[in-house]
Amino acid sequence: MRGADRPILSEVRAAERSAGDEPLRAPSGTHDILPPESAVFEGVVARFASRARLAGYGLALTPLFEELAVFSRGVGSSTDVVTKEMYDFVDKGGRHLALRPEVTASVARAYVQHRPTLPWRVWYWGPQFRYERPQAGRYRQFWQLGAEVLGTGDPDLDVEVIELAWTFCEGERIPGLSLALNSLGDGACRPAYRERLLAFLEPLAAQLCPEHQTRYRDNPLRVLDCKRPACRDATAAAPTPLEALCPSCRTHFARVQEGLASLGIPAVVTPRLVRGLDYYTRTTFEITASALSASQDAVGGGGRYDGLVAALGGPETPGIGFSLGLDRLLLARGDDAPAPEAGLEAFVVDLTGGGAALVLTSRLRRAGVAVERAFDSRSLRAQLRMADRSGAAVALIIGPAERAAGEVRLHPLRGGEESVVAIEEVEGALRALDGAGERPRRTGNEEQA
Ligand code: AMP
């Protein structure tokens, strides 16, 4: 829609009239991640970044919205993600766009557009958008961490990628992890398997769940993954993709299993594991955590997508990757207990009206010291109370006398003697305290990095 056709202005005015002073809330299915919990979130991302860097991955930041075709052609036009959950819209220039529901298709699109040297390893993190029914662990905006490698079909790479996902989750100390593994076949064996599955489902169609009664023809593999009892019962004896693998897919899958075993990674072959995105070929996997509710127990998953780049207009290029749900990782870790505020070292208490604190905090922060201060010319008592609550080890007190003498009073907040230092020696004095163990150790990100 363009210009005057757009109802946006009248909608804005109507909303203003009706809303009055109602406090506004985040949209349904979204949630704020705020301090101190966000420090845990930040720590998980930082640890993933350093693991990915060690394995040669560079960071890829792709747009939060793409041409709709990136997802309809990439993820699959009959998937739930595209048909039911996409936040798509027409922009002011008439382009049909979609908020990204996932990143793999965007990474493949970026590869087609920029053609970096292969093999190309990238990692990412960021929000995804899916119009789902919100519940614990299932949101409309959620966060993923992931990694993708384009350019080789070697099964050793499958092992390496699965190892990264698995060992990262293990390192995050998530209880009750398990790894399900499957192969979906390739362009040679998958079409024949699909026909075989369709022939199996045809006479049972009336027994499937209401949704799959009408939709099983579009995407028969998804019926295997359906959690509803009707589909479970009707397909108990269905042929699985594993039974129909061609010899080269069978060899590939065997190599992946051997490789995982040689690294001590306990993969459980799960013949009905299908996953919801159409681009997967050969290896697919999913990591679940027992701490999550059964219907949403997947912490992450991934697999090979050897046809994706070609589906987006690029040359035949194999690829494999995974994504982990950051919200679910945090839920599974049980991080209700907020991390302490990240390492505040000092708190400036200014009794001169604020100007001294302005200059001192600026100088200390530029020198790499984590420092806070009070505002609004509060009393000494009020400022010291704030200093104490801030978690800092030391209050740096400047009154008119200290300012005149070019000094600061170092007032330990967790026991110890008060001392007076020249204002230009504050950094050195704080470092000396740190050496003596009186400064709080940094927490949050660095703690487990
Ligand atoms: P997918 O991109 O569908 O393979 O999902 C990968 C991972 O992202 C899942 O295993 C979940 O951990 C997470 N995830 C997917 N959808 C949602 C959602 N709606 N809310 C929260 N996490 C999600």
Q: Model confidence over 356-367: pLDDT tens digits?
A: 999 999 999 999
- Does 325 contact ligand 1 (Cβ within 6 A)? yes
Query: Which ligand 1 atom sits nearest the alpha carbon of residue 328?
Result: 12
Three-state DSSP state, 283: strand
Q: Model confidence over 227-258: pLDDT tens digits?
A: 899 999 999 999 999 999 999 999 999 999 99
Q: Is the pLDDT score of 119 beyond 90?
A: yes
- Does 166 contact ligand 1 (Cβ within 6 A)? no
Evaluate whether 156 touches 260 at the Cβ level (below 8 Å).
no
Pocket perturbation via mutation, ligand 1, pick of 178, 275, 283, 327 by most ligand atoms within 8 A of CB: 327
The rounded Å distance from CA 40 to ligand 1 centre is 19
| Total Cβ atoms within 10 A of residue 277 | 24
The answer to which of 107-111, 128-132, 229-233 has the lowest mean pLDDT is: 229-233
Pairing of strands 141-150, 177-183: unpaired
User: In the chain, what are the domain boundaries?
Assistant: 37-189+245-333, 346-447
The residues near 425 (Cβ < 8 Å, ≥ 6 apart) are: none
Q: Which two tokens stand for residue 427?
A: 């950094």
The rounded Å distance from CA 325 to ligand 1 centre is 5
Query: Which ligand 1 atom sits nearest the alpha carbon of residue 137?
Result: 21
- State if pTM tops 0.85: yes
77: confidence class by pLDDT, cuts 50, 70, 90 = confident
- Does 189 contact ligand 1 (Cβ within 6 A)? no
Q: How many residues does the chain have?
A: 449
18: confidence class by pLDDT, cuts 50, 70, 90 = low
Residue nearest to atom 9 of ligand 1 (CA): 300
The CATH superfamily holding the domain 37-189+245-333 is: Bira Bifunctional Protein; Domain 2 (3.30.930.10)
Residue nearest to atom 20 of ligand 1 (CA): 138
- Does 124 contact ligand 1 (Cβ within 6 A)? no
444: confidence class by pLDDT, cuts 50, 70, 90 = very low
Pocket perturbation via mutation, ligand 1, pick of 84, 328, 329 by most ligand atoms within 8 A of CB: 328
Helices (H) and strands (E) in the chain, counts: 18, 16
296: confidence class by pLDDT, cuts 50, 70, 90 = confident
Evaluate whether 279 touches 226 at the Cβ level (below 8 Å).
no
Instruction: Give 287's strand partners.
Output: 179, 300
346-447: which CATH number, 3.90.850.10, 3.40.50.10490, 3.40.50.800, 3.40.1080.20? 3.40.50.800
DSSP code of residue 189: T
Q: How distant is the alpha carbon of residue 426 from its chain centre?
A: 40
- Does 126 contact ligand 1 (Cβ within 6 A)? no
Nearest by Cα to 299 from 269, 271, 327, 268: 327
Segment 334-357 mean pLDDT: 79
DSSP code of residue 188: T
Q: Which two tokens stand for residue 383?
A: 């400022």
Q: How far apart are CA 103 and CA 109, in angstroms?
A: 10
Q: How far apart are CA 251 and CA 284, in angstroms?
A: 15
Query: Which ligand 1 atom sits nearest the alpha carbon of residue 329?
Result: 12
441: confidence class by pLDDT, cuts 50, 70, 90 = very low
Evaluate whether 137 touches 293 at the Cβ level (below 8 Å).
yes
Question: What residue type is 375 in one-letter code?
Answer: F
Evaluate whether 303 touches 279 at the Cβ level (below 8 Å).
no
- Does 284 contact ligand 1 (Cβ within 6 A)? no
The angle subtended at Cα 336 by Cα 333 and Cα 338, nearest 5°, is 110
Q: Which two tokens stand for residue 214?
A: 């009408």
